[in-house]
Structure 1
Amino acid sequence: MKQLFGIIVTLVVLGAIFSGNDNAPKKQSVTSQSSSPVSRSVPVACDTSTVITGKKYNVLGSGINVRKGPGASYEKIINQKATSFFETTQYISIDDSTTVFEECTKDGWSWIRVTDPDWLQDSHRGWVASKFLDKGQDIGGDKYARKISSSALSPYTKKGYPKTIAKYGSRLSEIESLRRKAAEMAVDSGKCDYVLTSELSDNKSSLNHLHFWVDCRNMQRIYLDEFQIKKGSRVLSEEEKSWDKTSARTACQQAIKDRALIPSEVEIHTILGTSFYKAPITHNVVLRMDFDAKNVFGTEIPYTATCYFKPGEVGAIDIQPRQ
C-alpha cells in the first residue's frame, strides 16, 4: 500500500512539473504573413499594455531614430559600433532601405526589429513612430513617396561631390530638378518598381548636354538625357534596348567576315565555339565566337572573336589568335 501511495505521489509531482501553472510566463501566439499561425517569443517590451501584431512592413522616410520606449520623450538608442568608429555619438536609425518586423504597437508607436538587411537584425530593434511604417496610410498626396528611395535623390554638395560641383555648378539646381523628374518618369513608365538611385551620368554628360541614369530594385536601368526629360519622351529600359542573342550573333558573324581576308573561306563554330553573356543591370552583351580563316597562303588559322554590344549602340569586335 505504501508503495502504491509513493507511485501516485510521484505521478502527481511529475504532472505539476511538466504542466506548469497559470502564473508562469507563456509564449504569445502570433500570426506571420503566411496563412498558418506560428508560436514564437515576443520581446519583453511587448507587455500586456501593447497590441501584438507580428507583421512585416517597408519603411517610409529616412533618419528615423529607434527609441527605448513608445514615445518621443524616450531616449534614442545609441549605435555602439558606429559611435566607437566615428568617435562621436551615433544613434540607431532606420530608413526606406530597410524592412522591419513589427512585434507590437502602443499609442501610435511600434516595437520593431530590422529583418532586411540581415546584418542589422541583432542591433536595430526598439520603438519607432508607427507612421513611418508603410501600412497603406495617406502620406500627404506624394504618389512617389512609396516608389522612390529617400537616398536616391540625396543632393550633390561641395563636400561630397567636389568634382561634380566644379564641373556642373552653374547648372546645379537644374540638375537636382532633372534627377527627380528622371526618377518620376522611370516610375510612371511602369518599368521601374522602386527607384534606388537617380544620378547624373558624368561619363556621358557635358555642361551643355546632361545625361541621367536611374537604377531600380527590379534590376532595371534607365538612361534619359535632359531633352528627353523635358519633352516627357517615352522611357525605354536598358533591357529593352539591349541586343538579343540572335541579333548579336548575326552582327558578330558579319563583323568577322568583314575583317577576313577571304570571307567565303571563314568557318565559324556557331555551336560549340560560341558563348553569350548579358549583364543583369547594364544589359551589356559579350559574345565570343571561335572561327577558322585562311591566310594568303591558304593555311587555315584558328581565331576567337569577342563582340561587345551596349544597349542601343553599334557593337565592337576584337579578334585574337586562338591557341
Structure 2
Amino acid sequence: MNGQNVLLLAAPKTGASKLVNEKATAIMHTTQYMAIDNSVTVNEQCTQGSWSRVQVTDPDFLHDTHIGWVPSTALRKPQVDASGQRVFTEADFQFDKSTLPYKKTIIDGVNRIHRENSRCGDIDPSSASLSSTSTKAHPTFYVTCGKGTQVFNVFFTPQDVASRKPFEAPRNIDHGQAVALCEGYAKSHAAHPSTVDFSRVLDVAVSDGANGNTRVTSTFTAKNSFNLKLKYNIACLLNASGLIEAQISEAR
C-alpha cells in the first residue's frame, strides 16, 4: 500500500459508494467504512482503467469482508532481490517518533531476520517497534513473526544488526530431555521426592513453540507431609538452555 487508510469503494469510479464495515459500525454505533493501509496485504483481482479490485489476504480475518475497488496508484508491488527474496522498504513500516531515529537499523534488522530465521517467512514489518525494556543507551527492538497460535516476537539490537552472527531460528529442546527436567522439578518440590510417580506416557503432552520454547504438561502422584498420596498437575516451560518456569497444582 502507498499511504494510509485507503477506502474500499463499491465501484471503480470517483464518488462511488464507500463500503460500510458492518461489524465495526455495530461496535462503535457510528458508521465505519472499510479501509486498507500499509499493515495489510491484498490480492489484486482485476483492473479497470486506473482502478483495481482488491481482496485483503492478510490478516486472515478480513479476507471474506474487505473486497472492493481502490485507485491502482494506492497499491505498491512488493520488492524482491535478484534471488526472488522479498525486500522490505521504508513504506512497509510504521515509524513513529520513538522509532524514526532508528529507521535504518530497524529496516536492516527486519530484512535480516526475514532472510535468516527460517520461522520468519511470515513476518509483519509494520509491527517493528521498541521493546518495553529498551533504554536510550541500549535500544532494543522487536518484530512479530508467524501466524495464528505460532505468533512470536524476535528481539534485536543495533549490535545484533551490525554483527555477522545470523538471526537463526531458535532450537527447541529435545522432548525426552524436556520431560526429564519437568519430572526433576516435580521431585525437587515434593515433600517426599522418592514417592513421586511422574506420568511419562498417559498424561504427558509436549508442544514446541516457534519462538524456541517448549511446553510440557503432565501429572504425578506423591505423598505429602501427612503421608497421604495425592495427585498433582504440572506445567513446565523450557528452551534449549533448560527450564524457564514451572507450575504445580493439586489435581481435582
Q: TM-score, normalised by structure 2?
A: 0.69
Corresponding residue to 1:207 among 116, 136, 140:
136
Name the structure 1 match of 2:66.
Answer: 120
Alpha carbons 2:51, 2:71 under 8 Å: kept: yes
In the alignment, structure 1 residue 300 sits paired with structure 2 residue 234: no
In the alignment, structure 1 residue 230 sits paired with structure 2 residue 169: no
Tell me how far 1:301 sits from its aligned partner.
Answer: 2.6
Q: Given residue 96 of structure 2, which amino acid in structure 1 is its aligned partner?
A: Y
Q: Given residue 200 of structure 1, which amino acid in structure 2 is its aligned partner?
A: L
Q: 1-side partners of 2:135 and 2:38: how far apart?
A: 33
- The 5 Å alignment of 1:1-323 reads 61-63=2-4, 75=14, 77=16, 79=18, 81=20, 95=38, 97-104=40-47, 106=49, 109-114=50-55, 116=57, 117-121=63-67, 124-129=68-73, 132=75, 134=77, 146-148=86-88, 153-157=93-97, 165=98, 173-189=100-116, 191=118, 192-196=120-124, 197-202=127-132, 204-217=133-146, 219=150, 221=152, 222-237=154-169, 240-279=170-209, 282=211, 284-295=213-224, 298-309=227-238, 314-323=243-252
- Higher Rg: 1
> More relative contact order in 1 or in 2 (CA 8 Å, sep 6+)?
2
Alpha carbons 2:3, 2:37 under 8 Å: kept: yes
Q: TM-score, normalised by structure 1?
A: 0.56
Q: 1-side partners of 2:30 and 2:162: how far apart?
A: 46
Tell me how far 1:181 sits from its aligned partner.
Answer: 2.3
Q: 1-side partners of 2:214 and 2:208: how far apart?
A: 4
Distance 1:62 1:246, change over 3 A: farther
Tell me how far 1:148 sits from its aligned partner.
Answer: 3.3
Alpha carbons 1:61, 1:95 under 8 Å: kept: yes
Tell me how far 1:269 sits from its aligned partner.
Answer: 1.5
SS of aligned partner of 2:72: strand
Distance 1:321 1:142, change over 3 A: same
Q: Given residue 123 of structure 2, which amino acid in structure 1 is its aligned partner?
A: V
Q: 2-side partners of 1:278 and 1:213: how far apart?
A: 21
Q: 1-side partners of 2:223 and 2:36: how far apart?
A: 67
Q: Note the aligned Cα RMSD (angstroms).
A: 4.2
Name the structure 2 match of 1:39.
Answer: none
Q: Deviations over 1:73-106 (max 9, x none)?
A: x636563647x98999989556572322433454
Distance 1:217 1:147, change over 3 A: farther
Tell me how far 1:252 sits from its aligned partner.
Answer: 0.5
Q: Given residue 75 of structure 1, which amino acid in structure 2 is its aligned partner?
A: T
Q: Deviations over 1:261-307 (max 9, x none)?
A: 4333321111122233445x555433222112234564423222221
Identity of aligned residues (%): 13
Q: 1-side partners of 2:163 and 2:90: how far apart?
A: 25
Q: Given residue 43 of structure 2, which amino acid in structure 1 is its aligned partner?
A: V
Aligned residues: 234
Tell me how far 1:176 sits from its aligned partner.
Answer: 3.2
